[in-house]
Amino acid sequence: MRRGSWASRFSFYLLAVGSACGLGNIWRFPHVVGENGGGAFLLLYIFLAFTVGLSILVAELIMGRSGEHGILKISRLVSVQQKKPFYWFGRLSLLISVVILAYYSVISGWVLHYLTQFLVGLFNEDRLTYISSIDMTALKNSGSLQFALASVHLLLCGLVVARGVVERFEKIFTRMLPILVILFIILVMRSFSLDTTSDVLRFLFYPDFSKLNLSSLGRAIGHVFFTLSLGMGIMVTYGSYFKDNEHLPSVGFRVTVIDTIVSIMALLLIFPIAFLSESNHYFTDPALLFGSLPRLFVKIPYGEFFGLLFFLCLWLAAVNASIGLMEALVANLKDKYSKVSRNQATLLATIGVLFITIIPAYSGTLFSKLKVFNQSVIENLDSVLINYLLPIAGLGLIIIFFKSLNDTDRRGKFIDAKGKNSQAMYHHWVWVLKWFSPALIILAIALQLINLIK
């Protein structure tokens, strides 16, 4: 693992923030909020991000500082020590990271498709007509196109990891971040000046609790895990980068704040455009982002450049998140099989994930008949992974955290000698992590199951 090679403290922040902010915030969050009726769900989500999410994020960061190992190895050590099969949690995390990376690659492939479409549009005589015609049809009709694009994405990520140029990529990416932020603000402002703003504000900020259903809690917790990159020991790796004098609870808090701001901005970007359309069903569709954005770019002077830049930034963010996932995979593989080299492990991980990518890529075509609970393969994959398995892995992580560190260790890593409040905060945090978060996770899973069989 690479430690200490990054000089400034700022860049560690950017790394952790970079892993958290990605397609989860900009693509997934808006349609999950749409699906669950807006304002009330948003409130629920924010509450959970700062309780369940933050408490587990801090635990992962602290675990990273305490040990030199990935989650697979930590769980194995705890198993040996306690003589109980805790290693299953490590395996579950590993399995989830493989499937999430496959799923993430397919969506990154969609971004790549839009990126190339905008590029082609630049060279078209009638740019406006071209942009306004950019949509998901080609993707929806061709599983092979989705698979090909996802493969390009994955191979590129594999190459970055295998060549050991991750740091260089991250440097480029973090330098581009200011551009992304400025671009994002301009787009949000433009979107906000559309006529639909007052309806959007009512939808997003006026909580109507009758819109929540039995699954909403699980949907919110699942998304908290996904967007903060929790449950898979990714943040364990980032925790190991921070210097000892860094107060990890504050790091976790800031990462959660930034991630939440980005997510809310994404809502303010997408919904004013989405509200221009009459069909309500469209809000809940995973294609929400892709369907609505081109309609904004048509309205902006030089929209094709904005579009190109936007999808380029989004794709780089996706590459960054995917690299993080792949690095964790490779590190775990190397922990387990000490004889394989870094290159071999990366090759193995890339090929393995590539195989699994077939399932979500062909979900709408080859596997279109395979519907369970009236949902397509890709929808079920998203739901099982994010709404059930990630929170279960989170529970495992909490257990491993408490078994691998004793109270003195935990306290020592949490409390900041200078901060007066950290003693009290420590007790709150342990309480939330030990009782509140597990209780809510179990409740969320139970309610979703009841909703399924109801």
Name the residues that contact ligand TRP, by CB under 6 A: 19-20, 22-25, 100, 226-227, 229, 232, 234, 321, 324-325
Q: Look up tokens 């950019």; give the residue.
A: 134
Specify burial of residue 252 (Cβ count, 10 A radius: 0-12, 13-18, 19+). Answer: buried
Query: At closest approach, how far in Å is the CB of 227 from ligand TRP?
Result: 4
Query: At closest approach, how far in Å is the CB of 111 from ligand TRP?
Result: 11
**CB closer to ligand TRP out of 19 and 216:** 19
Query: At closest approach, how far in Å is the CB of 321 from ligand TRP?
Result: 4
Query: At closest approach, how far in Å is the CB of 294 from ligand TRP?
Result: 21
78, 149, 244, 300, 394 from 233: Cα distances, Å: 15, 27, 19, 41, 9
Query: At closest approach, how far in Å is the CB of 23 from ligand TRP?
Result: 4
**CB closer to ligand TRP out of 23 and 150:** 23
**CB closer to ligand TRP out of 111 and 298:** 111
User: What are residue 375's DSSP bridge partners?
Assistant: 372
Q: What is the rounded end-to-end Cα distance, in angstroms, of the chain?
A: 47
Task: Please compute Rg for the chain using Cα positions.
Answer: 21
∠363-262-421 over CA atoms, to 5°? 125
Query: At closest approach, how far in Å is the CB of 255 from ligand TRP?
Result: 10
**CB closer to ligand TRP out of 232 and 378:** 232
Specify burial of residue 418 (Cβ count, 10 A radius: 0-12, 13-18, 19+). Answer: exposed
**CB closer to ligand TRP out of 223 and 334:** 223
**CB closer to ligand TRP out of 14 and 131:** 14
Residues 6+ apart with CB under 8 A from 4: none
**CB closer to ligand TRP out of 294 and 391:** 391
Residue nearest to ligand TRP (CB): 24
Q: Which amino acid is at 255?
A: V
Query: At closest approach, how far in Å is the CB of 303 from ligand TRP?
Result: 25
**CB closer to ligand TRP out of 23 and 33:** 23
Paired tokens of 4: 């200490």
Q: For residue 398, how many other CB atoms are within 10 A of its CB?
A: 19
Query: At closest approach, how far in Å is the CB of 397 from ligand TRP?
Result: 12
Query: At closest approach, how far in Å is the CB of 28 from ligand TRP?
Result: 7
**CB closer to ligand TRP out of 23 and 359:** 23
408, 409, 411, 433 from 420: Cα distances, Å: 18, 19, 14, 21
Q: Where are the beta strands (DSSP E) in 147-268?
A: none
Q: Tell me how far apart the alpha carbons of residues 178 and 67 are, in angstroms, rounded to a whole number.
A: 33
User: What are residue 372's DSSP bridge partners?
Assistant: 375
Q: For residue 451, how many other CB atoms are within 10 A of its CB?
A: 13
Coil/strand/helix, residue 286: coil
Paired tokens of 257: 């704040």
**CB closer to ligand TRP out of 214 and 258:** 258
Residues 6+ apart with CB under 8 A from 390: 96, 222, 225, 226, 230, 231, 232
Query: At closest approach, how far in Å is the CB of 48 from ligand TRP?
Result: 15
**Any idea of the CA torsion for 157, 161, 162, 166, to the nearest 10 degrees?**
120
Query: At closest approach, how far in Å is the CB of 190 from ligand TRP?
Result: 24
**CB closer to ligand TRP out of 260 and 404:** 260
